[in-house]
Amino acid sequence: MEMITNQMPTAELQALDAAHHVHPFTNQDELTSKGARVIMRAKGVSLFDSEGVEILDAMAGLWCVNIGYGRGELADVAARQMRELPYYNTFFQTTHVPVIALSAKLAELAPGDLNHVFFGGSGSEANDTNLRLVRTYWAEKGKPEKKVVISRKNAYHGSTMAGASLGGMSGMHAQGGLPIPDVHHIDEPNWYAEGGDMSPDEFGLQRAQELEKAILEFGEDRVAAFIAEPIQGAGGVIVAPDTYWPEIQRICDKYEILLIVDEVICGFGRTGNWFGSQTLNIRPDIMTIAKGLSSGYAPIAASILSDEVAAVIGGTEFNHGYTYSGHPVAAAVALENLRILEEEKIVETVREDTGPYLQKKWKALADHPLVGEAKIVGMMGSIALTPNKETRAAFKADVGTIGFKCREHCFANNLIMRHVGDRMVISPPLVITKDEIDTLIERATKALDLTLQQIKDEGLYA
């Protein structure tokens, strides 16, 4: 076989990619006719493609490269660990130093009595674990009929059968017969799109109370858990109104429903604290973590359990685990990532310095004629595109048509900003500097200008 090298012309790489590589969340035929952009290397917040073009990655990969690209310390740790102990499992009453150290460190960082860590390889796997875990928990407590997990429409919890079922993405449910039984979805706290004439606070309360209604409809004795992201990420960076989370917490407490907080994006500094639960004052029984846990340098994820949940599960053999649960190389890389986040005070910098700087500039995008609202917490932000700022109207074109055009203008101007329907979202590496934030905002503004001009020309500004 021919070596695939950096010297190969882009068109040849694209042709090979199209011939043999099946991409996730992609229309393969469309991509084949267009050719994938080939990313060669990365440093800090910048990607470099096969033509040598530098691109500002305002998405930190898939919301995960919190410490930025190119940190050699993580490579060194991985190499050292591979030489020492590249692999061993943790199934049969064995353990190893990287998994011990990482578990203890996570127990120290996680809020409250979240002190016990079950590892997986991805956020999806961790949420599969959570689903089986909460059902096992209630069975152990003599209530095996408590099986229903309540989630939210437009939530993202991963792409396995359980992850996609827990998630509330209609496009994902439409393929493969999902959701699986005993997963129920209530409406999302998306005031901008669904709040109508209500105030955000009234609306937040109403949407939280849908949880109570659902619990009463199923019966308290049937509901195992509620799962939610502190801030919906893949759903479009939807920040719930202030009234929402206190009411959710009240309801979970009142009915003894386990609260699973999916921190896969919000964890590890994204919202200006170590966890989104701290920013929003939520008390989870179980937390899902992945992505920023290793800044994407190695695939690793986990469920962090409260003392009580761990004690109940500890009473039985939990017949569940992955070959790569607590993989030593991934665990060592994650530990080094946490060391960097901590020692370089990256979370504090997001909270007190670069975060507020980005927030001010991001919120000012709401003055652009195409933007209906600009939301941001820490370093996850979104803007809603609209033809009418006053009414928060959707475009007449299919949802996502205008967002996609805007994303293409971003791409052409060397900025990675994602679209979710007609919302544009960012989640840059947490190490982004003020100068780089200025560049991000300049390019985003230019893309908005170009999108506005284009849709006016095409008669779509309506």
Ligand X SMILES: *Cc1c(COP(=O)(O)O)cnc(C)c1O
The answer to the question of residue 310 lying near ligand X (CB under 6 A) is: no
Among 234, 257, 310, 329, binds ligand X (CB under 6 A): 234
Residue count, binding to ligand X (CB under 6 A): 15
Q: How far is the CB of 262 from ligand X (least distance, A)?
A: 4
Whose structure tokens read 């899902």?
A: 288
The answer to the question of residue 247 lying near ligand X (CB under 6 A) is: no
Q: How far apart are CA 214 and CA 216, in angstroms?
A: 5
Cβ–Cβ < 8 Å for 188, 232:
yes
The answer to the question of residue 44 lying near ligand X (CB under 6 A) is: no
Q: How far is the CB of 310 from ligand X (least distance, A)?
A: 21
Among 119, 156, 274, 297, binds ligand X (CB under 6 A): 156
Which 8-state DSSP code applies to residue 46? E
Q: How far is the CB of 301 from ligand X (least distance, A)?
A: 6
The answer to the question of residue 158 lying near ligand X (CB under 6 A) is: yes
From 136-144, 154-162, 353-361, 376-384, give the range in contact with ligand X by CB under 6 A.
Answer: 154-162
In this chain, which residue has its C-beta nearest to ligand X?
123
Cβ–Cβ < 8 Å for 302, 118:
yes
The answer to the question of residue 282 lying near ligand X (CB under 6 A) is: no
Q: How many CB atoms lie within 10 A of CB 411?
A: 14
From 69-77, 119-127, 209-217, 431-439, give the range in contact with ligand X by CB under 6 A.
Answer: 119-127
Q: What are phi and psi of 19, to 5 degrees?
A: -75, -30
The answer to the question of residue 262 lying near ligand X (CB under 6 A) is: yes
The answer to the question of residue 290 lying near ligand X (CB under 6 A) is: yes
The answer to the question of residue 123 lying near ligand X (CB under 6 A) is: yes
From 68-76, 102-110, 116-124, 394-402, give the range in contact with ligand X by CB under 6 A.
Answer: 116-124
Q: How far apart are CA 318 and CA 409, in angstroms?
A: 50
Q: How far apart are CA 358 and CA 440, in angstroms?
A: 9
Going by C-beta distance under 8 Å and a sequence separation of 6 or more, which residues neighbour residue 405? Answer: 451, 454, 455
Q: Residues 342, 346, 350, 351: is their CA dihedral positive or negative?
A: positive
CB of 65 or CB of 234, closer to ligand X? 234
From 226-234, 351-359, 382-390, 417-425, give the range in contact with ligand X by CB under 6 A.
Answer: 226-234
Among 57, 128, 188, 229, binds ligand X (CB under 6 A): 229
From 207-215, 262-270, 368-376, 416-424, give the range in contact with ligand X by CB under 6 A.
Answer: 262-270
The answer to the question of residue 270 lying near ligand X (CB under 6 A) is: no
Q: What are phi and psi of 235, to 5 degrees?
A: -75, -5
b/e map 65-88, b = 16+ CB within 10 Å: bbbbbebeebeebbeebeeeeeee
The answer to the question of residue 273 lying near ligand X (CB under 6 A) is: no
Going by C-beta distance under 8 Å and a sequence separation of 6 or more, which residues neighbour residue 275? Answer: 109, 110, 111, 230, 261, 263, 266, 267, 268, 287
- CA distances in angstroms from 412 to 14, 30, 318, 320, 460, listed in the order given: 18, 18, 50, 46, 21
The answer to the question of residue 265 lying near ligand X (CB under 6 A) is: yes
* Angle (nearest 5°) at CA 71 between 359 and 21: 90
From 2-10, 259-267, 330-338, 344-352, give the range in contact with ligand X by CB under 6 A.
Answer: 259-267
Distance of CA 399 to the CA centre of its chain: 22
The answer to the question of residue 336 lying near ligand X (CB under 6 A) is: no
The answer to the question of residue 188 lying near ligand X (CB under 6 A) is: no
From 123-131, 236-244, 406-414, 427-435, give the range in contact with ligand X by CB under 6 A.
Answer: 123-131
Map residue 15 onto helix, strand or coil.
helix
Residue 383's beta-bridge partner residues?
374, 424
Among 44, 61, 189, 233, binds ligand X (CB under 6 A): 233
Binding mask 12-41 for ligand X (x = CB under 6 A): ------------------------------
The answer to the question of residue 269 lying near ligand X (CB under 6 A) is: no
Interacting residues with ligand X (CB under 6 A): 122-124, 127, 156-158, 229, 233-234, 262, 264-265, 290, 301
